[in-house]
Amino acid sequence: MTKTKERRFNPDRDVNPWKGGYRPYDIAKEIVICFVVMLVLVVGLAIVFGSPDDKAVTIQTWSNANQVDFAQTAITELDGTSATAQYGPPYNNVADVSQKIGPFSPEALVGVHIPVNTAQDFVIGPLETVTNSPVLTMALNQFNAASPSQQANWESAYATAVQKAKVFHNVLVVPLARYGPVGIMIRQLTDMARSGALDTSMINQDHFYGTDYTKSLLYVADGTYFSDQGTALHLSGGQWGMMNETGNFPGQAWLWLYSFWYQIPPFTTAWEPNADILVSVLMMILSVLLILVPFVPGVRSIPRWSRVYRLIWRDHYKGRE
Amino acid sequence: MTTLEHDTSSSPEEDAEVSKQWTTRIRRRLVEMLPPERLIPDRQPSFLSSWIYIFGALTIGALAIIILTGMVLSLEGPGWWHTSSLGLFVNSMHLWSVELFFFCMVIHLWGKFFMAAWRGNRQLTWITGAVTFLVSVGAAFTGYVSQTNFDSQWIATQAKDGINSTGVGAFFNVLNFGQMLMWHIVLLPVGVLFLTGLHILMVRRRGIVPPFEDGVNDKSETVASGTQEGTPS
């Protein structure tokens, strides 16, 4: 016995079985034609427009293009004031920097899973791989043996001095100050960066093969050189950010709604400090709504109210008139 | 002399045993759910005449090209297209097939929305389609961050903040090229293909949604729940 329950016919949920006519339809032929049409379009677009392939920024290209910016970034990695050093989870523990939605901070809850110690990983560790420079070895020994307050004084003095650094005859010149061994360390690190050795050191810190560029990318992104390149190519967050591509390519246009929220208040004003988590949660809610459209009262009635279906099935309705 | 030939005749006991087999039951259930004439139909309802219907098949066509060009790129590895003009051309095909895939898919999605294509127990067809769209966004995104060029650097460093803010970044590290490439060429394509297959099977099982009836705002009729098409009682 079939159990049935009477319920009201809802035109936004229910439908009467089709009792009209049927006609021959070659679905296999349709699929083949669609594939061929797509193939022709794809080949044509590939020939006419190609695809963008701007070279990646390496630490080597960055430090050769702008030694001063590299040195200014390197000291912030050493003294712990860079964007990465102050990022918080999942890279490091920094108090009160995690974004929140109300009192809830998912990234703080998950904690540090990809540990990054910028002083050790970006400066001291790579310098310790250089074994043929007695001057550097002495500088590192002096720095490591010093008290934290002494280290902080040297770092502060260098951070101030490097703001007035210049390049003469392709050599970084930092005004003299009481920065102790830090001057030699950053000087050597800059040389290492310019030679390409720092790129290799960053990727292969733990093993021979490298496929994880997390630390290299964080390093490069901490400098102004990289962000200047992105801004010049109209790729910054205020310019619809990551949905763009270099050149005149459509990029990830389907992310327009995600990028859209970053362009308008309150995400650019009062909510700006927590914009990432707020936009992410908003997009999750909208995604769930998209999936559940058939069950959302009001939303599922829009097709009927809008009467766009009269256009889609115009032949059907014309036949009934 | 022994023979390897089977005796094709079967006893009633054997027939009874076969009919109870898991294999037989699964086959019977599948054929009931989706008989061949419904799975690969040679006729369609007469209302199916709008150009909007073609965008579902065009999306599948674009997906086929994405998979094929992705496989060609896989033959030589992720660095090939930076140094080979043939590789660059295949990469360009891969890129533009993705652009067309999303273009067609979004039109298909809007078309189905304005048809209210979830009516008549077709909710799961809509859900599998919407989830396929979202998983495809992830598949495309991981491709963009696996390009090993300036674009991938920029997109990854921009996207990390949003993903990290949710806590997901601790496990889905967009700066880790190896991890993103694996997601792009294995996990997410498998997800997209599986969901697309499921979506197509749902379409074939439930059929194409019929047009709204004239006088559609009249809600006076009742319908028996549990019926496939929501037949008015």
Dump pLDDT digits (tens) for B94-140: 999 999 999 999 999 999 999 999 999 999 999 999 999 999 999 99
Structure ipTM: 0.93
Distance from the B2 Cα atom to the nearest Cα atom in chain A, whole angstroms: 48
Give bridge partners of residue B222 from the DSSP assignment: A8
Could you tell me how many residues make up chain A? 321
Q: B26-48 pLDDT, tens per residue? A: 999 999 999 999 999 999 999 99
pLDDT at residue B217 tops 70: no
Q: Which long-range contacts (CB under 8 A, 24 or more apart) does A161-164 make?
A: A162/A68, A162/A71, A162/A72, A162/A75, A162/A186, A163/A72
- Interface contact flag, A38 B232, Cβ < 8 Å: no
Look-up: residue for tokens 């307050």?
A149
Number of domains in chain A: 2
- Interface contact flag, A106 B166, Cβ < 8 Å: yes
pLDDT at residue A158 tops 70: yes
Closest CA to A112 of B173, B3, B182: B173
Closest residue on chain A to B81 (Cα): A53
Q: Is A51 a domain residue? A: no
Residues B162-170, mean pLDDT to the nearest whole number = 95
pLDDT at residue B9 tops 80: no
Q: With contact defined as beta carbons under 8 Å apart, do B36 and A15 qualify?
A: no
Q: b/e per residue, B68-94, with b = 16+ CB within 10 A?
A: ebbebbeeeebebbeeeeebbbbbbbb
pLDDT attached to residue B221: 43
Q: Measure the CA angle with vertex A172, ends A166 and A175; round to 5°.
A: 60
Q: A182-206 pLDDT, tens per residue? A: 999 999 999 999 999 999 988 876 6
pLDDT attached to residue B7: 58
pLDDT attached to residue B225: 40
Half-sphere exposure of B215 (CA within 13 A, CB side): 6
Q: Which long-range contacts (CB under 8 A, 24 or more apart) does A258-264 make?
A: A258/A283, A258/B162, A262/A237, A262/A238, A263/A238
| Contact status of A14 with chain B (Cβ, < 8 Å) | yes
- Interface contact flag, B116 A309, Cβ < 8 Å: yes
CA distance A201 to A192: 10
Q: Is A11 a domain residue? A: no
Q: Is A23 a domain residue? A: no
Low-confidence winner among A3-7, A16-20, A312-316, B105-109 (lowest mean pLDDT): A3-7
- pLDDT confidence band for B71 (50 / 70 / 90): very high
A residues 151-210 lying closer than 8 A (beta carbon) to B? none
Q: A32-49 pLDDT, tens per residue? A: 999 999 999 999 999 999
Q: Judge: domain B51-206, CATH 1.20.810.10.
A: yes
Q: Is A116 a domain residue? A: yes
- Interface contact flag, A38 B61, Cβ < 8 Å: yes
The whole domain housing A307 covers: 264-321
Q: Is A4 a domain residue? A: no
pLDDT at residue A295 tops 60: yes
pTM: 0.91
What residues contact residue B156 under an 8 Å CB cut-off, 6+ apart?
A217, B145, B174, B175, B180
| Contact status of A235 with chain B (Cβ, < 8 Å) | yes
pLDDT attached to residue B229: 36
The neighbour count for residue B210, using CB atoms within 10 Å, is: 21
Domain ranges of chain B: 51-206
CB-closest option in A35, A250, A252 to B64: A35
pLDDT at residue B216 tops 70: no
Q: Is A97 a domain residue? A: yes
CB-closest option in A16, A18, A113 to B232: A16
Closest CA to B166 of A258, A188, A146, A14: A258
